[in-house]
C-alpha cells in the first residue's frame, strides 16, 4: 500500500464568519456586520471570475453592476455555453404559490434532510431564504418560465419533497436561467465593466503573501500562457464529475481550476460526495464519450419498474402487469417514484445486480409513461416532456411514447468541492468559490432542482454581499506586476508542465488514460464502495500516473490551438484528484447520501450514517503529489433539524 | 461500417485550407457523429498526425458549440445539432464531406472551428433586459398571458450555434437576431427597451458583416431548435415600428 493512505489529522477548521443567533436572522446579521466598499472606491478594485455558468455569470454581472472591475474567463467560445445550460428540470424556490404547505423553513428542512445531515445549517437556511428572490430576479430579466393560463407561474414536484416548488421552462430551465445571466453579463461587457476572455483556460492560481492575487491562463487559440492580476479571485468553474470519464458533464468540464487552487493552499472538502443520477440513458458501447441525462421531472409521471423474474427477456409490452415490480412504489410507498436521487440510483443498481435489469447487458430499468399517456393523453405528455422524449428517441432510436424508456444511473454532480466559510471564501484569503465548485450546501446528496438555486444564490446574492467585506478590510493591496518572483515561478511551472506533456511523445492518447482512470473510479469509487475496493484503486492510481508521464502522446505544439494538449493537461489533475476522492471515501467508514459504503448499511440495505464519528465535513490540505494529505475536520452542529435515519418509506 | 471522410483542414486563420481524405472503419450505427470523429482523432494521434479540431461540449444538443457542415448541410441530414446526429443516418461505404460553418462573419480559427464572437456582440448591443440584481419586483406582480410566454419561450430556445448563418446563401444572421428580439420584446419586462433593442441589435448585426436577408428560408430549415421563419417577419415589424416611433420623436 502507498503511504498516501497514512494521512494525518490537523487542527479543526472552523467557520469564523458564521453568525450565531436565531437561524432566520443570521444572513441579515452577517450582511449588516460585513464592511462595505464605497461606490467610488469599487472601480479601483479588480475581481477575477473564472467560469460563466449560473454562478460565475451571475456573479460577474452583479459585481460589475456594483461598480467593480471584473475580469472574467471561460474556456468555451462564448460565456453562453457554460454547462449550466444543460440543466433540464427546474429550480426550487419556497414561494408557496401552490398553498401546499411550503415555506422557507420546509425548503431548509428538506435540503438538510435530503443531504443526509452533512451540510451546514446556516448556509442551507440562507439558500432557502434567497430562493424566493431568485425567481423574482429571473422573471425581471425576461426568463420565460412556464406559466398557467391565468398568466402566473407554474410549478412541479421533484424528488425528495412533498410540495410543488420547482419552477421550470419546459425541459430547458438551465438554458433559460443561464441565458438570463449571460444577457446580464453581456450588458456589463458592453458597458466596459467586464473584460471577457472566452476560449481562455485557467491553469494556476497566483498566491502572494498568503492572498490570492491572480491566475495563470492559456489563450486556447494562440496557445499563449499569460498572467492576470486582481484584488480577489472567484472560482465558479463547476464540478469534477468528469474524473469518471463517462458522466453527464460537458466534454470539456474539468477540475483544473479547483485542483490547482487546492495545490496552492485551498482545502478540498468531501471530495467523495458525488451524485449518481438515477435517470440517464444507458451506455451502448466502448465508443461512448458521455452520458445523457433524462430529467428527474420525468419521475413525476413515469413509473419505474423491472420484471419480477430474473433474466426475463420478453419485450416490455409482453410482460403482464402482475409480473412487473414497480420497486420504488413498493419499497417507498409515501414518496414512490420521487425518492431522492441517491436512493433511486441505489435501488436501480440493486435490481440490476439481482439479474432483473433490462436492455443490453441487463444494465437498465424501465421508466414507463403508458399510464401517464392513458391518464393525461399524449398531447399533455408531449407538452410537458416533448423535448426530452425527442432527445431520447434521437439517441436510442426508440419511441418512448410506444415503448418504455430504459434508464440507468450515471455520474452527474459533485457535492464536494473547495471548502468555503459562510462568506464563500476558501482557506486562501481572497480566493472565493461559488456554485458547484464549492462544497457548501448540499451535504452528501443534492436534491433535484437545487443546483440552479445554489448557483444563482451564490452568484447574484451571496458573493456580491460577502466579497465587499474582504475588499473593505484589504483596501490597499500592493499592485502585482508580471516581474514579481512568485508570478514568474508560477508561470514557469505552468509552461514547464505543458512542455513536458508535449515532449514525452509516448504511445497512448490523453483519452485512453482518462478512460482507464474513469473505469477504475466507477468500479471502486462509484455507486457502492468498500474498504478493499478503495484500497485497490489507491494502489492503482499512482501506477497510472507514472505510466501517464512515461507514455502520453500529445501531437502539435503549445503555441497553437491544440485540443489534445488541453485534454492531457486536464487528465494530469484528474489523476491527482481521483486519489483524494478515494482516500476520502476510504476514511469515511459510514454511508451517507451518495456515499455508500457496503460495510455500513441498515438491515434493509439503506445507508447507515455514523453520526458519532462522522458528523463533520472533511477538509483536506495538500502536501505534495502522491503525499499523504492532512485532514481538517469541520464539526457540523444541528440545532434545527435533528439528524435521524432518513425515511422515505 | 467503413466510411470515407473528406475533411476541411486549415492550420490557422491565416493559412490556406483544403479538403483531406481519411478512411475510418469499425464505425457502429449507435455512435454519434462526433464519436465517429473521436475515433478518427485517436487514430491520427497515434499515427503522429494532427487530430481534426472541432468545437463541441455538452453533446446533448443544448450548448450550441458543435458546428459542422456535413455533406453541404449545416448539422447534417437530420434536423438536430451535430452532436445529436447518429451514424445510423449513414450507410456502410458512404463518403462524407465535413466542413466548418462558412460565412465571412465567422472566420475559421482552425480546421472546423470558427469564431462566432459576432453573435455575442449582437447580444451585447441590446439582447437583455436592464434589470440590475436586487431591484426585481415580486414575480407574480405582472401576469404574462400564456400565449405570450409560450411565444417568448419558443424564440428563447435558440442555442446560438450559427447554423442559420451557415445555411443562408447570404450569410445573414436574421434568424439568430430575431429570435432574441422576439423573446424579449413580447414580454412586459422587455417592453421599456423594445425599440432600442431591435434598432441596436440590427445595427450591430449589419456592422459585423452578416449578409442581407432575402427570405430564402434556409435558416429555419437548418435550425436545430425549430425557430420559425416567421420570427424574421416579426422582427421586421418590430424594426419598422421602432423606426417610425423614433421618427416621431
Q: Do A251 and B31 touch (CB under 8 A)?
A: no
The answer to whether residue A225 is domain-embedded is no
- Element containing residue A126 per DSSP (H, E): helix A121-140
> Which of the residues A341, A346, A529, A597 is marked catalytic?
A341
Q: Do A285 and B28 touch (CB under 8 A)?
A: yes
The answer to whether residue A354 is domain-embedded is yes
pLDDT over 90 at B55, yes or no? yes
Interface test with A, best of B86, B111, B112, B133 (most A CBs within 10 A): B133
pLDDT over 80 at A420, yes or no? yes
Asked if residue A495 and residue A384 are part of one domain, the reply reads no
pLDDT tens digit sequence for B226-236: 999 999 999 99
| Average pLDDT of the residues in A90-112 | 96
User: What is the bridge-based pairing of β-strands A232-235 and A225-229?
Assistant: unpaired
pLDDT tens digit sequence for A2-37: 799 999 999 999 998 989 999 999 999 999 999 999
Interface test with A, best of B35, B39, B134 (most A CBs within 10 A): B134
Please tell me if residue B93 touches chain A, with a CB cutoff of 8 Å. no
Sign of CA dihedral A164, A165, A166, A169: positive
Cα–Cα dist A191/A364, whole Å: 51
pLDDT over 80 at A323, yes or no? yes
Asked if residue A489 and residue A402 are part of one domain, the reply reads no
pLDDT tens digit sequence for B181-195: 999 999 999 999 999
Q: State how many domains chain A has.
A: 2
For cell 466507477, the residue is A522
Using a CB-CB cut-off of 8 Å, the residues of chain A touching B31 are 285, 287
Using a CB-CB cut-off of 8 Å, the residues of chain B touching A290 are 59
pLDDT over 70 at A611, yes or no? yes
The answer to whether residue A193 is domain-embedded is no
pLDDT tens digit sequence for A219-271: 999 999 999 999 999 999 999 999 999 999 999 999 999 999 999 999 999 99
What confidence score (pLDDT) does residue A605 get? 80
Cα–Cα dist A227/A491, whole Å: 7
Q: What is the 3-state secondary structure (H, E, C) of A181-247?
A: HHHHHHHHHHCCCEEEECCEEEEEEEEECCEEEEEEEEECCCCCEEEEECCEEEECCCCCHHHHCCC
Cα–Cα dist A344/A338, whole Å: 8
Asked if residue A491 and residue A403 are part of one domain, the reply reads no
The answer to whether residue A521 is domain-embedded is yes
* Domains of chain B in sequence order: 3-110 (3.10.20.30), 117-248 (1.10.1060.10)
Burial class (CB in 10 A: 0-12, 13-18, 19+), A320: exposed
Cα–Cα dist A110/A67, whole Å: 37
pLDDT over 90 at A460, yes or no? yes
Nearest CA in chain B to A167: B139
Question: Domain of A386: which CATH number?
Answer: 3.90.700.10
| Average pLDDT of the residues in B65-82 | 97
Asked if residue A408 and residue A489 are part of one domain, the reply reads no
The answer to whether residue A371 is domain-embedded is yes
Facing residue for B133 by CB, picked from A152, A460, A507: A460
Using a CB-CB cut-off of 8 Å, the residues of chain A touching B112 are none
pTM, entire model: 0.97
∠ CA B114-B118-B120, rounded to 5°? 110
Q: In the structure, what pLDDT confidence band is assigned to residue A171 with cuts at 50, 70 and 90?
A: confident
What confidence score (pLDDT) does residue A522 get? 95
Last residue of a domain, one of A372, A394, A412: A412
Q: Do A172 and B189 touch (CB under 8 A)?
A: no
Nearest CA in chain B to A250: B58
Cα–Cα dist A595/A587, whole Å: 12
For chain B, list the strands marked E by DSSP.
3-9, 18-24, 68-70, 73-74, 95-100, 108-110, 113-114
pLDDT over 90 at A387, yes or no? no
| Average pLDDT of the residues in A103-117 | 96
State the residue range of the domain holding A406: 277-412
- What residues of chain B, 11 to 30, have a C-beta less than 8 Å from chain A? 11-12, 28, 30
Cα–Cα dist B35/B16, whole Å: 27
Asked if residue A385 and residue A495 are part of one domain, the reply reads no
pLDDT over 90 at A332, yes or no? yes
Q: What is the ipTM of this complex?
A: 0.98
pLDDT over 60 at A564, yes or no? yes
pLDDT over 60 at B249, yes or no? yes
Cα–Cα dist A36/B149, whole Å: 39
The answer to whether residue A122 is domain-embedded is no
What confidence score (pLDDT) does residue A1 get? 55
Exposure of A235 in the CB half-sphere (CA atoms within 13 A): 40
Q: In the structure, what pLDDT confidence band is assigned to residue A633 with cuts at 50, 70 and 90?
A: very high
Question: Domain of A498: which CATH number?
Answer: 1.20.58.100
Asked if residue A490 and residue A388 are part of one domain, the reply reads no
Q: Do B57 and A147 touch (CB under 8 A)?
A: no
pLDDT over 90 at A542, yes or no? yes
Q: In the structure, what pLDDT confidence band is assigned to residue A476 with cuts at 50, 70 and 90?
A: confident
Amino acid at each position: 500500500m502507498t503511504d498516501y493512505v497514512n494521512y494525518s489529522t490537523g487542527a479543526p477548521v472552523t467557520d469564523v464568519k458564521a453568525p450565531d443567533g436565531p437561524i432566520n436572522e443570521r444572513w441579515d446579521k452577517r450582511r449588516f456586520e460585513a464592511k462595505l466598499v464605497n461606490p467610488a472606491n469599487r472601480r479601483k478594485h479588480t475581481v477575477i471570475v473564472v467560469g460563466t455558468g449560473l454562478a460565475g455569470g451571475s456573479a460577474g454581472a452583479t459585481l460589475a453592476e456594483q461598480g467593480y472591475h471584473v475580469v472574467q474567463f471561460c474556456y468555451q467560445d462564448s460565456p453562453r455555453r457554460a454547462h449550466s445550460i444543460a440543466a433540464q428540470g427546474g429550480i426550487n424556490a419556497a414561494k408557496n404559490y401552490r398553498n401546499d404547505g411550503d415555506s422557507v423553513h420546509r425548503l431548509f428542512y428538506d435540503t438538510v434532510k435530503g443531504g443526509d445531515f452533512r451540510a451546514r445549517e446556516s448556509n442551507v437556511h440562507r439558500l432557502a431564504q434567497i430562493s424566493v428572490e431568485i425567481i423574482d430576479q429571473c422573471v425581471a430579466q425576461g426568463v420565460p418560465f412556464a406559466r398557467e393560463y391565468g398568466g402566473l407561474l407554474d410549478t412541479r414536484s421533484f424528488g425528495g419533497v412533498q410540495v410543488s416548488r420547482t419552477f421550470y421552462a419546459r425541459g430547458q430551465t438551465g438554458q433559460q436561467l443561464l441565458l438570463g445571466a449571460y444577457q446580464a453579463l453581456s450588458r456589463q461587457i458592453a458597458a466596459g465593466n467586464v473584460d471577457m476572455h472566452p476560449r481562455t483556460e485557467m491553469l494556476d492560481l497566483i498566491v502572494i503573501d498568503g492572498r490570492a492575487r491572480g491566475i495563470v491562463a492559456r489563450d486556447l487559440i494562440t496557445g499563449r500562457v499569460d498572467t492576470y492580476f486582481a484584488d480577489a479571485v472567484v472560482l465558479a468553474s463547476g464540478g469534477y464529475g468528469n474524473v469518471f470519464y463517462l458522466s453527464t458533464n460537458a466534454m470539456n468540464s474539468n477540475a483544473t481550476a479547483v485542483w490547482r487552487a487546492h495545490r496552492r493552499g485551498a482545502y478540498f472538502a468531501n471530495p467523495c460526495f458525488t451524485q449518481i443520477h438515477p435517470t440517464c440513458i444507458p451506455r451502448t458501447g466502448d465508443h461512448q464519450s458521455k452520458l445523457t441525462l433524462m430529467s428527474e421531472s420525468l419521475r413525476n409521471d413515469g413509473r419505474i419498474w423491472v420484471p419480477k423474474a430474473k433474466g426475463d427477456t420478453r419485450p416490455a409490452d409482453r410482460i403482464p402487469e402482475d409480473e412487473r415490480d414497480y420497486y420504488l412504489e413498493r419499497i417507498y410507498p409515501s414518496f414512490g417514484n420521487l425518492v431522492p436521487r441517491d436512493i433511486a440510483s441505489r435501488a436501480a443498481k440493486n435490481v440490476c445486480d439481482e439479474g432483473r435489469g433490462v436492455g443490453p447487458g441487463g444494465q437498465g430499468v424501465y421508466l414507463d409513461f403508458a399510464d401517464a399517456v392513458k391518464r393525461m393523453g399524449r398531447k399533455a405528455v408531449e407538452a410537458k416532456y416533448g423535448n426530452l422524449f425527442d432527445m431520447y428517441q434521437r439517441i436510442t432510436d426508440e419511441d418512448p411514447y410506444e415503448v418504455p424508456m430504459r434508464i440507468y444511473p450515471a455520474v452527474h454532480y459533485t457535492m464536494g468541492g473547495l471548502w468555503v466559510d459562510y462568506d464563500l471564501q476558501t482557506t486562501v484569503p481572497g480566493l472565493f468559490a461559488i456554485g458547484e465548485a464549492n462544497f457548501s450546501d448540499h451535504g452528501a446528496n443534492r436534491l433535484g432542482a437545487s443546483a440552479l438555486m445554489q448557483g444563482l444564490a451564490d452568484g447574484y446574492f451571496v458573493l456580491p454581499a460577502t466579497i465587499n467585506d474582504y475588499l473593505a478590510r484589504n483596501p490597499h493591496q500592493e499592485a502585482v506586476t508580471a516581474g514579481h518572483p512568485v508570478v514568474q515561478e508560477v508561470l514557469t511551472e505552468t509552461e514547464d508542465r505543458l512542455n513536458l506533456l508535449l515532449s514525452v511523445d509516448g504511445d497512448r492518447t490523453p483519452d485512453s488514460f482518462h478512460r482507464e482512470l474513469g473505469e477504475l473510479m466507477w468500479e471502486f469509487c462509484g455507486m457502492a464502495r468498500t474498504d478493499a475496493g478503495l484500497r485497490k484503486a489507491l494502489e492503482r492510481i499512482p501506477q497510472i500516473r507514472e505510466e501517464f508521464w512515461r507514455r502520453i502522446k500529445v501531437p502539435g505544439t503549445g503555441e497553437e490551438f491544440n485540443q489534445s494538449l488541453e485534454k492531457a493537461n486536464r487528465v494530469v489533475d484528474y489523476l491527482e484528484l481521483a486519489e483524494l476522492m478515494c482516500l476520502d471515501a476510504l476514511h469515511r467508514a459510514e454511508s451517507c447520501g451518495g456515499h455508500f459504503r457496503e460495510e455500513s448499511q441498515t438491515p434493509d440495505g439503506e445507508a447507515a450514517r455514523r453520526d458519532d464519528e462522522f458528523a463533520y465535513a472533511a477538509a483536506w490540505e495538500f502536501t505534495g503529489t502522491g503525499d499523504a494529505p492532512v485532514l481538517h475536520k469541520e464539526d457540523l452542529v444541528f440545532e434545527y433539524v435533528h439528524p435521524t435515519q432518513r425515511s422515505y418509506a | 461500417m467503413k466510411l470515407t471522410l473528406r475533411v476541411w483542414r486549415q492550420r490557422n486563420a491565416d493559412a490556406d485550407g483544403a479538403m483531406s481524405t481519411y478512411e475510418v472503419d469499425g464505425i457502429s450505427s449507435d455512435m454519434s457523429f462526433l464519436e465517429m470523429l473521436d475515433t478518427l482523432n485517436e487514430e491520427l494521434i497515434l499515427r503522429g498526425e494532427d487530430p481534426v479540431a472541432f468545437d463541441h461540449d455538452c453533446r446533448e444538443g443544448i450548448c450550441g458549440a458543435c458546428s459542422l457542415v456535413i455533406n453541404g448541410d449545416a448539422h447534417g441530414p437530420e434536423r438536430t445539432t451535430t452532436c445529436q446526429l447518429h451514424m445510423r443516418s449513414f450507410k456502410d461505404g458512404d463518403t462524407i464531406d465535413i466542413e466548418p460553418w462558412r460565412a465571412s462573419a465567422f472566420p475559421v480559427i482552425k480546421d472546423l472551428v470558427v469564431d462566432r464572437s459576432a453573435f455575442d456582440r449582437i447580444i451585447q448591443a441590446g439582447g437583455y433586459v436592464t434589470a440590475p440584481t436586487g431591484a426585481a419586483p415580486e414575480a407574480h406582480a405582472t401576469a404574462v398571458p400564456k400565449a405570450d410566454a409560450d411565444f417568448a419561450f419558443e424564440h428563447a430556445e435558440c442555442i446560438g450555434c450559427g447554423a442559420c448563418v451557415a445555411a443562408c446563401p447570404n450569410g445573414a444572421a436574421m434568424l439568430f437576431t430575431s429570435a432574441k428580439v422576439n423573446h424579449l420584446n413580447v414580454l412586459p419586462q422587455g417592453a421599456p427597451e423594445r425599440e432600442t433593442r431591435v434598432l441596436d441589435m440590427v445595427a450591430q448585426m449589419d456592422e459585423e458583416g452578416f449578409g442581407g436577408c432575402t427570405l430564402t428560408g434556409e435558416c429555419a430549415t437548418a435550425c436545430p431548435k425549430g425557430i420559425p421563419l416567421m420570427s424574421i417577419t416579426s422582427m421586421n415589424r418590430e424594426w419598422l415600428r421602432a423606426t417610425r416611433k423614433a421618427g416621431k420623436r
